[in-house]
């Protein structure tokens, strides 16, 4: 009998055996893997810009006010701010652990940006396909937070809380539309509505209009579109609204206990409502598009800037049109859950966009671009799907990809310095260690901070007029006045006696002298002639650094 031989299967090297199993493993985990990719790409983009540039006005104001809180000062009583103080308190708590530093503030901003991006992706998945949601979420780090305001701005703190509130509202919608899922998970939709309201209150704690508008928008969407009977919609809306109140009420009680409630009403209620619109917003009419576009290189990426400036009004109309057309034609008609989610996104996006007014310039529109891109992606995908079946995600992804490619290389912080030459200022300002600035800006700041340190002692009280509070932070000197910005929307005529008494105690005044295009094209002497005369009567110019004049108290 012939002997049988069995051929052994070809030998497979151990390293190749697992690879066929990776595909089903990745498919089963596509959602977390996509989210991880979105966060990773955002992080890599942020690393390109997080340590570049410094804004003595806006960034310096945030850092300096956080330090004033760290020193034990109470908002509205000891220093002026038109904003609710949540962002300053949070940053002061971070500084308590790490010490005051520009780079620490930038890392806080980076973490806020990653959190907002991740939540935009999750919220976008309630409306659109996975690739579309990923690209729409990536538009926020590229075109939103990464375009020029990359510092611990109060808007990013508030927006992070507001987007989290939206995600809670979307979760409540999903549980309401699928009660069996709600029962299985042991989750109560009302608890998610309460969480949404609480987060709106936290957003209002960081910036009052973002939290208030977000709460109103989500309440309206819940009342109108929640897929449940009317009594349940009313109850859910009431829970959301009531839950938004405890944090603001706690702030008011704390301010009253510290003798700052009257100052809060004046600084953060009266001035933003009555003074700011007249004295500050007049040069910035709420018109679209908000020219000029902020391009440092003429013609480079300008088309993308113009389209992005136009973007916020368009997604809402696009989403409404797509919803109406799909319903009328019965093509891709959305489910009740999808309709309610779209209503929540629309109400939220409109609310955040409204906070940009009346300062409708590109910088102030940045905070609205994240929600706008998600809603725009939803409209593109819906309309594309109605025109070409199953092609909606492809069309939306192609359009979003074009915007991303245009924005990745066009972040303003990437275009600094002659021949891309960057310098640091850690030698004169240790708190700026690791920061990279334009060569000329670095030279000016080193010289200016060196002069401030030469003419004063640590702990001395100085005044930087009409703004540039970053000098207090970088030079490690205290502000002699209650004000960090001397503009019509912060300093009133009734404040002049107090300001003159405060300036009389200053050991140095740093006066920025150029004619100012920011407000009515006036300089400090035109805006506050009486205060300018007081300064030049009681102080004597002793040094100059470019446009800065350094004045010491007059002898005798």
Inter-CA distances, 451 with 234, 418, 443, 480, Å:
63, 25, 12, 18
pLDDT tens-place string over residues 521-556: 567 888 889 999 999 999 999 999 999 999 999 975
- Specify the DSSP class assigned to residue 3: P
- Largest Cα span, the chain: 126
Residue 143 has pLDDT above 90, yes or no: no
Give the model's pLDDT for residue 315.
65
Residue 53 contacts residue 296 (beta carbons within 8 Å): no
The C-alpha atoms of residue 530 and residue 535 are separated, in whole angstroms, by: 9
DSSP 51-96: TB---TTHHHHHHHHHHHHHTTPPBTTTB--SS-SHHHHHHHHHHH
Residue among 514, 503, 518 at smallest CA distance from 553: 503
The C-alpha atoms of residue 381 and residue 326 are separated, in whole angstroms, by: 12
Phi, psi of 547 (to 5 degrees): -85, 0
Per-residue pLDDT band for 293 (boundaries 50, 70, 90) equals: very low
The C-alpha atoms of residue 437 and residue 435 are separated, in whole angstroms, by: 7
Residue among 99, 102, 101, 214 at smallest CA distance from 155: 214
Residue 166 has pLDDT above 70, yes or no: yes
Contacts of 397 (CB under 8 A, 6+ apart): 131, 132, 135
Is the bond into 73 cis (omega within 30 degrees of 0)? no
CA 35, 40, 45, 49 torsion-angle sign: positive
- Averaged pLDDT for residues 322-336: 62
Extract the tokens encoding 25.
């493993």
- Averaged pLDDT for residues 47-69: 94
Is the bond into 358 cis (omega within 30 degrees of 0)? yes
Residue 412 contacts residue 147 (beta carbons within 8 Å): yes
- Averaged pLDDT for residues 239-246: 97
Residue 308 contacts residue 406 (beta carbons within 8 Å): no
Extract the tokens encoding 498.
């107090």
Inter-CA distances, 141 with 56, 187, 235, 275, 406, Å:
23, 32, 37, 33, 13
Residue 198 contacts residue 246 (beta carbons within 8 Å): yes
Residue 328 has pLDDT above 70, yes or no: no
Give the model's pLDDT for residue 283.
40
Residue 437 contacts residue 422 (beta carbons within 8 Å): yes
Residue among 147, 137, 120, 139 at smallest CA distance from 364: 147
Residue of higher predicted confidence among 127 and 10: 127
Residue among 154, 238, 246 at smallest CA distance from 201: 246
Lowest mean pLDDT among 223-227, 308-312, 368-372: 308-312
Range with the largest mean pLDDT of 185-199, 304-318, 418-432, 538-552 = 538-552
Q: Each residue of 172-198: b (16+ CB within 10 Å) or e?
A: bbbbbbeeeebeeeeeebbebbbbbbb
Residue among 516, 431, 515 at smallest CA distance from 477: 431
Per-residue pLDDT band for 92 (boundaries 50, 70, 90) equals: very high
Residue 480 contacts residue 502 (beta carbons within 8 Å): yes
pLDDT tens-place string over residues 417-462: 776 688 999 999 999 999 999 888 999 999 999 999 999 998 899 9
Per-residue pLDDT band for 300 (boundaries 50, 70, 90) equals: very low
Residue 119 contacts residue 159 (beta carbons within 8 Å): no
Contacts of 62 (CB under 8 A, 6+ apart): 87, 88, 91, 105, 151, 152, 153, 154
Per-residue pLDDT band for 288 (boundaries 50, 70, 90) equals: very low
pLDDT tens-place string over residues 333-357: 568 888 899 889 999 998 998 887 6
Any bridge partners for residue 522, and if so which?
Answer: 516
- Specify the DSSP class assigned to residue 522: B
The average confidence (pLDDT) of the chain is 84
Extract the tokens encoding 534.
């007081």
Helix axes 313-329, 362-387, angle to 10 degrees: 20
pLDDT tens-place string over residues 251-261: 999 999 999 99
Lowest mean pLDDT among 175-179, 296-300, 479-483: 296-300
Question: What is the SS3 assignment for 311?
Answer: coil
Residue 31 has pLDDT above 80, yes or no: yes
Inter-CA distances, 461 with 95, 161, 272, 399, 553, Å:
21, 36, 28, 54, 12
Is 158 exposed, middle or buried, given 0-12, 13-18 or 19+ CB atoms closer than 10 A?
buried
């Amino acid at each position: 009998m012939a002997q049988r031989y069995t051929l052994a299967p070809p030998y497979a090297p151990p390293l190749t055996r697992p690879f066929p199993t990776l595909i089903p493993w990745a498919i089963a985990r596509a959602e977390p893997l996509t989210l991880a990719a979105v966060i990773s790409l955002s992080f890599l983009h942020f690393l390109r810009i997080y340590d570049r540039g410094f804004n003595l006005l806006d960034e310096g104001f945030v850092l300096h006010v956080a330090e004033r809180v760290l020193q034990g000062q109470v908002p509205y009583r000891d220093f002026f701010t038109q904003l609710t103080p949540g962002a300053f308190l949070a940053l002061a708590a971070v500084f308590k652990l790490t010490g005051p530093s520009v780079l620490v503030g930038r890392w806080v901003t980076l973490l806020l940006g990653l959190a907002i991006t991740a939540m935009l992706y999750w919220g976008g998945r309630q409306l659109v396909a996975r690739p579309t949601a990923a690209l729409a979420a990536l538009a926020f780090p590229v075109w939103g937070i990464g375009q020029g305001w990359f510092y611990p701005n109060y808007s990013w703190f508030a927006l992070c809380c507001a987007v989290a509130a939206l995600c809670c509202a979307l979760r409540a919608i999903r549980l309401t539309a699928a009660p069996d899922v709600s029962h299985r998970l042991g989750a109560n939709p009302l608890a998610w509505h309460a969480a949404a309201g609480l987060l709106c209150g936290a957003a209002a704690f960081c910036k009052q209009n973002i939290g208030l508008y977000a709460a109103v928008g989500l309440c309206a969407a819940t009342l109108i579109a929640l897929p449940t009977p009317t009594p349940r919609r009313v109850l859910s809306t009431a829970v959301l609204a009531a839950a938004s109140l405890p944090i603001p009420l706690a702030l008011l009680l704390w301010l009253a206990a510290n003798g700052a409630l009257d100052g809060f009403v004046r600084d953060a209620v009266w001035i933003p409502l009555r003074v700011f619109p007249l004295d500050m917003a007049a040069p910035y009419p709420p018109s679209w598009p908000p020219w000029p576009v902020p391009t440092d290189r003429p013609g480079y990426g300008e088309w993308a800037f113009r389209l992005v400036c136009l973007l916020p009004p368009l997604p809402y109309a696009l989403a409404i049109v797509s919803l109406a057309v799909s319903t009328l034609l019965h093509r891709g008609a959305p489910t009740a859950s999808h309709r309610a989610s779209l209503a929540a996104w629309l109400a939220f996006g409109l609310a955040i966009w409204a906070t940009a007014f009346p300062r409708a310039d590109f910088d102030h529109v940045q905070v609205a671009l994240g929600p706008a891109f998600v809603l725009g992606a939803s409209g593109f995908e819906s309309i594309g799907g109605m025109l070409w079946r199953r092609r909606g995600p492809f069309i939306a992804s192609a359009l979003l990809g074009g915007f991303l490619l245009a924005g990745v290389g066009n972040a303003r912080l990437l275009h600094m310095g002659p021949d891309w030459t960057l310098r640091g200022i850690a030698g004169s300002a240790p708190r700026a260690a690791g920061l990279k600035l334009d060569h000329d800006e670095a030279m000016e700041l080193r010289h200016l901070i060196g002069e401030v340190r030469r003419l004063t002692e640590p702990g001395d009280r100085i005044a930087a007029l009409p703004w540039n509070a970053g000098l207090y932070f970088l030079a490690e000197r205290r502000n002699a006045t209650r004000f960090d910005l001397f503009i019509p929307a912060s300093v009133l005529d009734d404040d002049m006696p107090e300001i003159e008494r405060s300036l009389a105690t200053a050991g140095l005044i740093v006066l920025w002298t150029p004619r100012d295009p920011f407000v009515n094209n006036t300089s400090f002497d035109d805006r506050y002639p009486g205060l300018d005369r007081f300064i030049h009567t009681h102080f004597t110019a002793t040094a100059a650094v470019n446009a800065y004049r350094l004045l010491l108290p007059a002898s005798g």
